[in-house]
Structure 1
Amino acid sequence: MNALFRNRSGAATPSSRPAGPAHEEGSREWQEARDRTELAALREMVPPPAGPRLSPTRHAELGAHLMNEINATATTSDAANSAKSRSAAARPWAFGRLTPGRSMSLGAAAAVVAATVAGFAITGSTGQTAVAAPAPLKVENSRATVPLATVAKRAAALAGSHGAAHRGTHRREWALGMWDDGKHKPEQMPVDESRARYNADGSGEAQDIKDGRVVRRTHLPAGSWEKFATFRNTPPKTVRGFADYLAKDNPDSRGSAYWTMDSVETLLRDWTPGPAQTAAIDGLLAEKSGLRTLGPVKDRAGRQGQAYGVDFKGTVRRTIILDEHTGRILGTELSSIKTDPKMQLKPGDVEQYDTYLD
């Protein structure tokens, strides 16, 4: 997959800032001008399929469906994203986080189109191909269940350990490609493993990995971090500081365990936390109501961990897997907990996972 579109949460997206007094940043004119510019850039970003796995008809259907979603987003007024939207029992999308109360921006929409079309259209230079959907996480009853509060205390005891948060991640990710028209079954996507590291000037290197080997390296010029990252500032080291930090991106994280976990997942696409940040994340999650213990599991990399989950309006479950000894975040997952005829999903279907490797 094209390295530019690796981040499904919307990292590699176009940006514009109309100039002039008539377009003061934050004004309605500025917003409308930015949306028009980004939409135009978005249309140019969708690459032609290079090596189709789907028929041309299905490619056209996919592109048309996604662009309809983008057009609807571009023409929706701020008033449409009100309390009415927040109360709707909509499904958070695996791509682009199209969710109640958080309308998909054109920037995130660009990642939706680019990542999805690229994923369906080509196998990528790594030769990775689509895989069957993984089985749900299985609770290992032979091991003891550890409460989240206990894991948070263990992480807090290690907060002063050597190690700092650093820009970039090493993760393995997978997601279903889904339509919501009830006509198409979910498409299997390739498992994508990547590693990225950034320097102080925003330069860095992105690596595509297959079977433990780096198969492609992409140099990222100075300033790339500022263009790609959602969370640009170093994450805080305290629970309260971390709560404020996440709320700047999504105010709904203040009172919701689900949106806190959603924001943490977005953060983990930008940063690898150090021990202090890990303790802050675990401590914040331990304070959230609605987040319950699922039990001991093995993550997608075969490591032992403890799983904790929170449900969203009876439709999906977001799960986080922690190392029970250190509190380190091993993985995050999104799965269906309700039959969804439009998406052709059933309870237990895994929609997306991210595994954090180092």
Structure 2
Amino acid sequence: MADELELLRSADPAPPDGPHFGDGPLDHTAERRLEQLLRDPGDGLDGRRRGRPGLLPGHPRGPLPGRLLPGPGRLRLAWGLVATAVVAALTLTLVLSGPSTPPAVAAPRPLVVETGSTPVPLNRMAERASAVAGTDGAPRLRKGTHVQSWSLGMSDDKPPITLPEERIVRWLADDSHTELVVATDPRHPGRPVLSDEGGEPHLVDAGHVLLDQTYPPSWSDAPPQSPPPVDPARLRAYLMEAQYTDTPLTTPELLDAMATLLDHWTLGARESAALARLLAGAEGLRPVGRVTDRLGRRGQAYVNDGRGVRRMLIMDPATGAVLGLESTLTAPDPEYGVEKGDVMSYSAWMR
């Protein structure tokens, strides 16, 4: 199914990369398309009659991480040119309010395993990670993270929305650290993305800074602030402590604890090898084949089916390092407007 946002962009008479955007008037074709769109705002992009679109209000954060896109209410979009503003706001509202459109607007689609690809067992991946850890010049542990994430926010009276963000945390020599968060989507580089900064959902430019802050020194020695161990058994205990539990972690809990770890540390080769060996012993984490992640990286995928959620772990086939983790809903929930197969969250970690 075509990406709904791509359909919108194809209908824009003044796209960002067009020759008449920002430095001159619309050409004749663009003027004609603009006139057609404005003639009857009740018509959809495909010519079928839709309800007259309203503008969308903001709404509060939902119970899941991320931010929410409002449902059939009002949304104010800030655009540079008046003509482009009218077309973009109108067509976006059509998609958000149209009865036949999916509720999770702008949500990434689930990753798809390549047909005919050969699954690689996790114990073999752990062997590869251990081999890399024994080489000269292998990557070393570094405190801080660089992660691209998508999180689905839900509300019982508004449609869900996925907001893409990129987060970079760097620790300094005095144990202070900086955190930079920007709104961006690598699937559509340079194009505007949704944000609810300030409580009102709106479009912002790609790379718009949501947070840029320096924090004072911190010397906590409790997980996940303390360095992770390189022994699988000790790493398991470390992750349990990071999750504030004395009970052995289930596989879904282990994967969530792993994500917490990777949101604080960029693992070195030895730490990645310990994590791979720990994951190789996890129950119900099965290899399914090769995937290409949302940053265009090839990886091996491992799937665990939990209660209502399917988690897909993506690992680098050469080094055994974790590349990403995707959580997908396995059942619809009409109360929150989500469908089976909607991506609840996704993280792609980078060095």
Please give the range of the TM-score, normalised by the shorter of the 2 chains. Answer: 0.5 to 0.7
Higher helix share: 1
8 Å Cα contact 1:335/1:348 also seen in 2: yes
* 1:318 corresponds to which of 311, 315, 329: 311
Counterparts of 2:349 and 2:255 in 1: how far apart (Å)? 15
Deviations along 1:134-168, whole A, 9 cap, x unmatched?
A: 11111112432211111111111122343321111
Cα distance change, pair 280–94 in 1 and its aligned pair in 2 (3 A)? farther
1:252 to partner: Cα distance: 6.9
| Structure-1 separation of matches of 2:265 and 2:77 | 27
For 1:268, the equivalent position in structure 2 comes to: 262
How many residues align? The count is 247
Q: Does 1:284 align with 2:278?
A: yes
**Aligned partners of 1:321 and 1:330 also within 8 Å:** yes
Name the residue aligned to 1:80: none
For residue 186 of structure 1, report the CA deviation from its aligned partner.
1.2
Query: What residue is the counterpart of 1:166 in the other structure?
Result: 142
Give the gaps of 5 or more residues in structure 1: 1-53, 67-92, 96-114
The separation in 2 between residues aligned to 1:253 and 1:309, in whole angstroms, is 23
Residue 234 of structure 1 corresponds to which residue in structure 2? 227
Shift of 1:298: 0.6
What TM-score does the superposition give when structure 2 sets the normalisation length? 0.62
2:288 maps to 1:294? yes
Question: What secondary structure sits across from 1:295 in the alignment?
Answer: strand
- Post-superposition CA distance 1:88-135 (Å, at most 9, x none): xxxxx642xxxxxxxxxxxxxxxxxxx6379999999xxxx9961111
Give the whole-Å Cα distance in 1 for the aligned partners of 2:69 and 2:141: 31
Q: How far is the alpha carbon of 1:187 from its aligned partner? A: 2.1
Query: What are the Cα deviations for residues 41-85 of structure 1, in whole angstroms up to 9, with x where unaligned?
Result: xxxxxxxxxxxxx845x52xx26xx6xxxxxxxxxxxxxxxxxxx
Distance 1:164 1:116, change over 3 A: same
Give the partner amino acid of 1:222: P
1:246 equivalent in alignment to 2:229: no
Identity in percent: 35
Q: For residues 146 and 293 of structure 2, what CA distance do their matches in structure 1 show?
A: 15
Determine whether 1:194 maps to 2:170.
no
Amino acid at match of 2:331: K
Structure 1 position 177 matched with structure 2 position 150: no
The residue matched to 1:354 in structure 2 has which SS? Answer: strand
1:157 aligned to 2:93? no
Supply the RMSD in Å over aligned alpha carbons.
Answer: 3.4
In structure 1, the partner of 2:17 is none
SS in 2 for 1:258: helix
The alpha-carbon deviation at position 230 of structure 1 amounts to: 6.2
Q: For residue 164 of structure 1, what is the amino acid of its counterpart?
A: R
Q: Report the 3-state secondary structure (helix = DSSP H, G, I; strand = E; otherwise coil) of the residue aligned with 2:280.
A: helix
- Give the match for residue 37 of structure 1: none
Deviation (angstroms), 1:203: 1.4
One-letter amino acid of the counterpart of residue 239, structure 1: P
Query: Conserved in 2, the CA contact under 8 Å of 1:167 and 1:272?
Result: yes
- For residues 248 and 326 of structure 2, the distance between their equivalents in structure 1, rounded to whole angstroms, comes to 21
Please give the residue correspondences for 1:1-358 in structure 2 after superposition, counting only pairs within 5 Å: 55-56=56-57, 58-59=58-59, 62=60, 94-95=64-65, 116=67, 132-161=106-135, 162-179=138-155, 181=156, 183-189=157-163, 191-209=164-182, 210=184, 211=189, 216=209, 218-223=212-217, 231-250=224-243, 251=245, 254-313=248-307, 315-358=308-351
Q: Name the structure with the higher strand share.
A: 2
Q: CA deviation at 1:233?
A: 0.2
Return 5+ residue gaps in structure 2 as ranges: 1-54, 79-91, 93-103, 191-205
Deviation at 1:332, TM superposition (A): 0.7
**Who wins on radius of gyration, i.e. which is larger?**
2
Check conservation: 2:223, 2:241, Cα contact below 8 A.
Answer: no
Q: Which amino acid aligns with 1:233?
A: S
Report the AA paired with residue 265 of structure 1.
A
* 2:223 and 2:239 in contact (8 A); partners too: no
Task: Give the counterpart letter for 1:196 in structure 2.
Answer: V
* C-alpha distance in structure 2 between counterparts of 1:254 and 1:330, whole Å: 25
TM-score by length of 1: 0.61
